């Protein structure tokens, strides 16, 4: 098998001549594990002692801790940026995330990471959340480059019920209710009652077990944890009394549940890495873990997650909304066990992986991401000096980060300053147990990785040193009575003031900076594809489809005509529901 791969590789080099020998003599497996709505302070690696995340931490301590890794402010924009390498404002996906029953999707003419990697010979799999449209079957993951998908199409589901509700378009007091767990297009009713994190882990392990070794693997495991589930308040744990016992040092019940569901997701990361190791695949893998956006400590979908010490929550463009937790490991990295302080944006992941996979990044066309492979794997200085954080024309706020990530300009704020405060405490009080380095050393991730670094083992002293390097000083203001919004523009010096306490836009010495960032923002604005958020479509009602969310439109990619299919006939009381599901699938 290996011999065959080597021969193939030589042939590829000879025919294209531009595959970098440094990367690997085989295309690496690419594993992306995504958390939902978790903040900077929900991981042990950043200095919080409250939630044990030994596997995720071990991934960072052995690999690279991405310190200036920026995501988008919410789910749909982040996933669109990840999969296309484009700023979501160029796809019309910059605004409020896609609702179940909403006719909106990733544009069909923009290729996804799965399509691009498949072109390079990868077998491609998605487990868990999609959230990039499902109005017609062409929008769904297995039509967008994934060989398989087991999971859900909408923003969240119940941790056990796999149901999601959306307000009826014709009656705000009522809901459309439907089941959303699918294997490709097929509903998977049989799994109701199984715990989502465990189910998605099991399915991911099956993907790795069944993987044909003659091909490289692209697996994206996109967890429900730590988003709230079911009715938007559920923080599902498998055994409530066990959770309450194990986390009795946490006073707040909601935060207790969050701690456990994050810890179970951490277990999942350990299982996946262990399986890669058991199958001999880890030695040629890149494993990335990150959270799609910041914490939602309060408000809609309140999960008690924490972006401490940063300002702002999910939805905002403050650091608390977009400064992502990212850790990446690969034995192929030339530099390991270090903190990378280069500016990296979520759109960079596509070209970075594409390059690592032996592709020519120029083939990706006009994207916003840049190849950061040398930046991450060798700690080289990045070519990125600016990140367009977002332009949300739907909600009317935008932001840009320039000067190597030093200065941030914000223009307007989400819903007049909603979520723009400082939330949650540090969770570093003495009631919390001390950080347990031995559990990091004994984690499945660490055990698997140590087998690959025989002569250079990770030592507890290194863990301490790295953790210290990424733990921020408490930078919050002592007195927030005069907290300002950025309805007018704000300028922050993120290096000096990571907590965004002081608006320095009026300082005369900053006027060149302000002007420069405004010009850049204006330039992007001129390229915007307007957000086209739509109302929930009355004919998407899961009642028409055996109480299951089902693509309800017929899309013709060529003519761009999207029309109703049989759902139209449900207006006719003589036609029985159920009959037509197969027509759509
Ligand atoms: C509609 O669904 C939401 C979210 O699941 C829930 O909070 C609300 O109570 C539901 N409304 C009704 C009338 O059941
Ligand atoms: C959805 O709403 C219905 C009422 O419309 C309610 O009975 C049900 O419990 C809700 N389900 C979820 C998952 O929120
Ligand atoms: C739930 O946890 C409690 C406390 O740890 C334990 O006694 C009980 O056996 C557990 N229940 C189940 C079903 O595992
Ligand atoms: C990474 O590069 C920066 C300079 O860009 C340097 O300060 C730092 O020491 C380097 N870290 C390692 C581990 O090489
Ligand atoms: C930055 O861009 C230059 C010119 O395209 C390129 O040669 C160099 O490798 C890039 N640096 C990194 C770290 O990718
Ligand atoms: C906080 O700031 C407000 C407004 O400037 C001031 O009135 C108040 O006394 C300050 N509180 C403390 C504790 O410093
Ligand atoms: C800032 O926002 C306002 C209002 O949305 C808009 O008119 C203006 O063009 C924006 N400025 C820049 C530099 O984008
Ligand atoms: C309708 O859904 C139920 C589960 O809720 C399932 O058992 C049944 O097979 C489905 N019927 C059809 C016709 O698909
Ligand atoms: C669905 O969205 C597409 C793309 O915006 C639009 O062309 C089409 O008319 C919509 N169809 C329906 C039935 O809403």
Q: Ligand 4 in contact with 379 (CB < 6 A)?
A: yes
State residue 555's pLDDT score: 79
Q: Ligand 8 in contact with 543 (CB < 6 A)?
A: no
* Cα 165 to middle of ligand 1, angstroms: 7
* Best of 317, 407, 411, 524 for a ligand 7 pocket test (most atoms within 8 Å of beta carbon): 411
* Cα 208 to middle of ligand 8, angstroms: 30
Q: What is the pLDDT of residues 321-372, one digit of tens each?
A: 999 999 999 999 999 999 999 999 999 999 999 999 999 999 999 999 999 9
Task: Give the DSSP letter string of 223-269.
Answer: --TTS-BTTTTB---S-HHHHHHHTTT---HHHHHHHHHHHHHHHHH
State residue 563's pLDDT score: 55
Contact 246, 180 (CB under 8 A): no
Q: Provide the residue count of the chain.
A: 585
Contact 437, 460 (CB under 8 A): yes
| DSSP state, residue 480 | -
State residue 545's pLDDT score: 87
Write down all domains in the chain, each with its CATH number in brackets: 1-167+216-451+458-534 (3.40.720.10), 538-583 (no CATH)
Name the residue with the closest Cα to ligand 3, atom 12.
239
pTM metric for this prediction: 0.94
Name the residue with the closest Cα to ligand 4, atom 6.
379
Q: For strands 489-493 and 323-329, give the pairing.
A: unpaired
Measured distance CA(120)–CA(29) in Å, rounded: 12
Give just the sign of the alpha carbon dihedral 195, 197, 198, 202: positive
State residue 539's pLDDT score: 87
Q: Ligand 6 in contact with 479 (CB < 6 A)?
A: yes
Task: Output the 3-class SS for 30-54.
Answer: EEEEEECCCCHHHCHHHCCCCCCCH
State residue 14's pLDDT score: 41
Name the residue with the closest Cα to ligand 1, atom 4.
231
Measured distance CA(113)–CA(129) in Å, rounded: 15
Start-end of H helices in 46-185: 54-62, 75-84, 113-119
Name the residue with the closest Cα to ligand 1, atom 1.
175
Q: What is the pLDDT of residues 483-494, one digit of tens each?
A: 899 999 999 999
* Cα 411 to middle of ligand 7, angstroms: 6
Atom of ligand 4 nearest to the CA of 337: 13
Q: Ligand 4 in contact with 380 (CB < 6 A)?
A: no
* Cα 88 to middle of ligand 9, angstroms: 19
Tokens linked to 288: 């990335």
Name the residue with the closest Cα to ligand 3, atom 14.
239
Measured distance CA(44)–CA(55) in Å, rounded: 10
Going by C-alpha positions, the residue among 175, 77, 183, 63 that lies closest to residue 466 is 63
Name residues whose C-beta falls within 8 Å of residue 167's C-beta, 6 or more positions apart in sequence: 174, 175, 176, 536
Q: Ligand 5 in contact with 192 (CB < 6 A)?
A: no
- Mean pLDDT by runs of 10 across the 585 residues of the chain is 37 41 74 98 96 98 98 98 98 98 95 98 98 95 98 98 97 97 96 98 98 97 98 97 98 98 98 98 98 98 98 98 98 98 99 98 98 98 98 97 98 96 95 97 98 94 98 91 89 98 97 98 98 92 91 71 52 42 45
What strands lie across the sheet with 29-35, from one edge to the other? 186-187, 182-183, 148-152, 123-129, 217-222, 29-35, 285-291, 323-329, 64-70, 338-345
Measured distance CA(205)–CA(90) in Å, rounded: 35
* Cα 379 to middle of ligand 4, angstroms: 6
């Amino acid at each position: 098998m290996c011999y065959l791969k080597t021969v193939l590789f030589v042939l590829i080099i000879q025919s294209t001549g531009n595959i970098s020998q440094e990367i690997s003599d085989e295309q690496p497996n690419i594993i992306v594990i995504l958390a939902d709505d978790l903040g900077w302070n929900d991981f042990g690696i950043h200095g919080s002692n409250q939630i044990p995340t030994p596997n995720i931490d071990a991934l960072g301590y052995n690999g690279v801790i991405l310190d200036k890794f920026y995501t988008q402010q919410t789910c749909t924009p982040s996933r669109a940026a990840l999969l296309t390498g484009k700023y979501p404002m160029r796809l019309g996906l910059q605004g409020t995330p896609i609702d179940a029953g909403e006719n909106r999707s990733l544009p069909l003419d923009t290729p996804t990471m799965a399509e691009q990697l498949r072109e390079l010979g990868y077998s491609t799999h998605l487990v868990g959340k999609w959230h990039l449209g499902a109005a017609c079957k062409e929008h769904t993951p297995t039509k967008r480059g994934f060989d398989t998908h087991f999971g859900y199409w909408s923003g969240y589901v119940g941790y056990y019920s796999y149901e999601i509700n959306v307000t009826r378009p014709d009656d705000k007091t009522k809901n459309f209710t439907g089941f959303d767990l699918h294997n490709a297009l097929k509903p998977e009713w049989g799994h109701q009652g199984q715990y989502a994190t465990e189910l998605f882990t099991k399915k991911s392990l099956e993907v790795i077990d069944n993987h044909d070794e003659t091909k490289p693997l692209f697996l994206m495991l996109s967890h429900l944890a730590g988003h709230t589930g079911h009715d938007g308040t559920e923080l599902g744990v498998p055994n409530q009394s066990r959770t309450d016992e194990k986390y009795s040092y946490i006073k707040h019940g909601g935060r207790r549940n969050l701690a456990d569901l994050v810890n179970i997701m951490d277990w999942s990361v350990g299982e996946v890495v262990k399986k890669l190791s058991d199958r001999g695949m880890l030695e040629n893998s890149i494993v990335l873990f990150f959270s799609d956006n910041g914490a939602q400590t309060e408000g809609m979908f309140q999960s008690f997650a924490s972006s401490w010490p940063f300002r702002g929550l999910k939805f905002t463009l403050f650091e608390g909304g977009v400064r992502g937790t990212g850790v990446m490991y690969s034995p192929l990295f030339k530099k390991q066990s270090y903190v990378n302080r280069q500016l990296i944006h979520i759109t960079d992941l596509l070209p970075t992986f594409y390059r690592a996979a032996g592709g020519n990044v120029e083939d990706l066309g006009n994207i916003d991401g840049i190849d950061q492979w040398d930046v991450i794997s060798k700690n080289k200085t990045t070519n990125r000096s600016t990140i367009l954080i977002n332009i949300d024309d739907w909600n009317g706020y935008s932001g840009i980060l320039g000067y190597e990530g030093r200065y941030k300009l914000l223009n307007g704020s989400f819903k007049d300053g909603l979520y723009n405060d400082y939330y949650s405490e540090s969770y570093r009080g003495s009631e919390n147990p001390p950080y347990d380095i031995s559990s990091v050393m004994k984690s499945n991730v660490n055990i698997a990785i140590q087998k690959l670094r025989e002569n250079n083992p990770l030592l507890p002293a290194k863990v301490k040193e790295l953790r210290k390097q990424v733990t921020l000083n408490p930078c919050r203001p002592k007195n927030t009575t005069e907290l300002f919004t950025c309805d007018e523009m704000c300028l922050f010096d993120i290096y000096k003031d990571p907590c965004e306490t002081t608006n320095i836009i009026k300082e005369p010495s900053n006027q060149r900076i302000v002007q420069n960032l405004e010009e850049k923002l204006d330039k992007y604005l001129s390229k915007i594809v307007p957000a086209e958020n739509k109302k929930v479509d009355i004919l998407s009602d899961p009642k028409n489809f055996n109480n299951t969310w089902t693509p309800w439109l017929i899309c013709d990619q060529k003519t761009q005509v999207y029309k109703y299919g049989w759902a139209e006939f449900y207006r006719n009381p003589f036609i029985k529901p159920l009959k037509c599901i197969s027509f759509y699938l």
